[in-house]
């Protein structure tokens, strides 16, 4: 079975695949379920070969019925299994909204702690892959509002593994978001063996003292590229924070950085209005207003219903590295 382990350079898809493989191998409570995870091996080939190795009890092909995928997984989790449910594309998650928000997130509270719901829901999100309106959307803000639900959006292969392990270990439901454009674009070293990265802990990807940029997913890589270019070409020192966990949010890391740089730019591909950036802005305004030397800015996807299919429309929706550079430069010089 061609799943590599050891300290390896992997892309994000390989990291998810390797982590799932190890989980299935090492923990008999785990199982993967979703549309096309069986013989097809997932549309991105993440679970290719899993059915043969682990059998249909632990690699469940489901009907095209998201409500039942999550609903069944909630029951399994409450009964002691560790289901890793997959929504094939985050665009299709809405039939399961009630099961995620109304059931999974409330299980612990509703049962007064008698039951928890150790469920992982994995789903690819995000655009830039000519996915148009049903294979491009970002769903984090739609679930962000819900207490009881954790949301992670790792950006690097090492984080993909560490946070997926943490999500599987977590006693409560975790929505695990994988930016599909990073799947094969982003490569990196992945440590050997089982390890976790704590949920709720951001990472400072690049240090700087003139501006704090907070982002997650694909945008982190672009922000890093932009910040590195600005440093090389214009000697501007921009700090880049990879949020990694969207909820709970790592307030301490963000605040410490903002108190140092006094300026905050939030970048996300998801629509601006009511997005993750709005919450970060509000938090910083509440906690660090008197450390701010510039208005907080958000560089986000436009508030239009879908990402267009035509390339110019898609490019307009996605935030280019050039636009990031421009905004960073303006804010540093403000």
Partner 1 sequence: MATTITMPQLGESVTEGTVAQWLKRVGDPIEKYESFVEVSTDKVNAEVPSPATGILSRILVNEGETVATGTPIAVIEDVAAAGAPAPSATAPSIAEPAQMADARTPSEQIAAAIPTPAANGAARSAGPQTTTPSGAVISSASAHASPAVRKLAREHNLVIAEIRGTGQNGRVTADDVIAYAKQRGGAPAPAALGAMPYAGEAFHTTQQIGGAPAPVPHGAAAMYANPQFGQTIPLTPARKIIAERMVESKHTAPHAWSMVEVDVTNVWKWRSREKDGFQQQTGYSLTLLPFMLRAVSEAIRQHPLLNARWTPEGIHVNAEINLGIAIGLETNLVVPVIRNADHLSIKGLAIAAGELIEKARRNRLSVDDLQGGTFTVNNVGANGSVASAPIINGGQAGIVTMETVVRKPVVTKDDAIAIRSMMNVCLSLDHRVIDGLIASRFLNALKAGLEAMGPTGSL
Provide the binding-site residues for partner 1, judged by CB under 8 A: 262, 289-294, 330, 333-334
Nearest distance from C-beta of residue 289 to partner 1, angstroms: 5
* Residue 214 beta carbon to partner 1: minimum distance, rounded to whole angstroms: 18
Helix %, strand %, coil % of the chain (to 5): 45, 20, 40
41 φψ region: left (φ > 0), alpha (ψ -120 to 50), beta (else): left
DSSP assignment string, 178-195: EETTHHHH-EEEE-SS--
Catalytic residue among 135, 221, 268, 297: 135
Report the 10 Å Cβ neighbour count for 332.
19
The dihedral sign for the CA sequence 101, 103, 109, 113: negative
Cα 139 off chain centre by: 10
Cα-Cα end-to-end distance for the chain: 55
Q: How far is the CB of 294 from partner 1 (least distance, A)?
A: 6
Question: For residues 52 and 293, which CB has a smaller minimum distance to partner 1 in the complex?
Answer: 293
SS (H, E, C) 26-37: HCCCEEEEECCC
The CA distance from 209 to 237, in Å, is: 6
State yes or no: is 194 an active-site residue: no
Give the whole-angstrom CA distance, residue 167 versus residue 152: 8
Which of 215, 223, 208, 226 shows the shortest CA–CA distance to 262? 208
Complex with partner 1: residue 3 or 294, whichever CB lies closer: 294
Which is closer to partner 1, CB of 290 or CB of 305? 290
Instruction: Please report where in the chains the tokens 């960073």 appear, as a residue.
Output: 328
Peptide bond into 255 cis (omega under 30): no
List residues bridging with 247 in a β-sheet. 151
294 vs 262: CA distance, rounded Å? 7
User: Of the two residues 184 and 209, which places its CB atom closer to partner 1 in the complex?
Assistant: 209
Minimum Å gap between C-beta 287 and partner 1 is 12
d(CA 274, CA 142): 9
Rounded to whole angstroms, what are the CA distances from 186 to 29, 80, 155, 203? Answer: 30, 35, 8, 17
Q: Just list the catalytic residues.
A: 135
């Amino acid at each position: 079975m061609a799943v590599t382990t050891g300290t390896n350079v992997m892309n994000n898809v390989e990291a998810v695949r390797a982590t799932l493989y190890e989980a299935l191998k090492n923990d008999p409570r785990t199982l993967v379920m979703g549309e096309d995870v069986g013989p097809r091996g997932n549309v991105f080939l993440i679970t290719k070969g899993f059915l043969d190795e682990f059998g249909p009890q632990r690699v469940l092909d489901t009907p095209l019925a998201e409500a039942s995928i999550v609903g069944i997984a909630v029951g399994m989790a409450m009964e002691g299994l560790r289901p890793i449910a997959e929504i094939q594309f985050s665009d299709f998650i809405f039939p399961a909204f009630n099961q995620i928000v109304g059931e999974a997130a409330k299980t612990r509270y509703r049962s007064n702690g008698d039951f928890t719901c150790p469920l992982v829901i994995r789903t690819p999100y995000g655009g830039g892959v000519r996915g148009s309106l049903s294979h491009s959307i970002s769903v984090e803000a739609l679930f962000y509002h819900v207490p009881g639900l954790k949301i992670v959006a790792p950006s690097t292969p090492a984080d993909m593994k560490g946070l997926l392990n943490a999500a599987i270990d977590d006693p409560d439901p975790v929505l695990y978001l994988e930016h599909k454009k990073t799947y094969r674009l982003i490569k990196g070293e992945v440590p050997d063996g089982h390890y976790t990265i704590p949920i709720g802990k951001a990472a400072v990807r690049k240090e700087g003292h003139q501006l704090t940029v907070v982002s997650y997913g694909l945008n982190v890589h672009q922000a890093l590229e932009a910040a590195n270019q600005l440093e090389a070409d214009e000697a501007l020192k921009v700090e880049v924070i990879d949020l990694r966990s969207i909820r709970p949010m790592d307030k301490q890391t963000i605040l410490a950085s903002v108190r140092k740089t006094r300026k905050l730019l939030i970048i996300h591909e998801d629509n601006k209005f009511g997005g993750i950036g709005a919450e970060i802005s509000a938090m910083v305004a509440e906690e660090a207003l008197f450390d701010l030397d510039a208005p907080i800015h958000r560089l986000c996807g436009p508030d239009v219903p879908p990402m267009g299919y035509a390339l110019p429309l898609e490019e307009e929706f996605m935030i280019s590295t050039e636009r990031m550079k421009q905004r960073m430069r303006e804010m540093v010089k403000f």
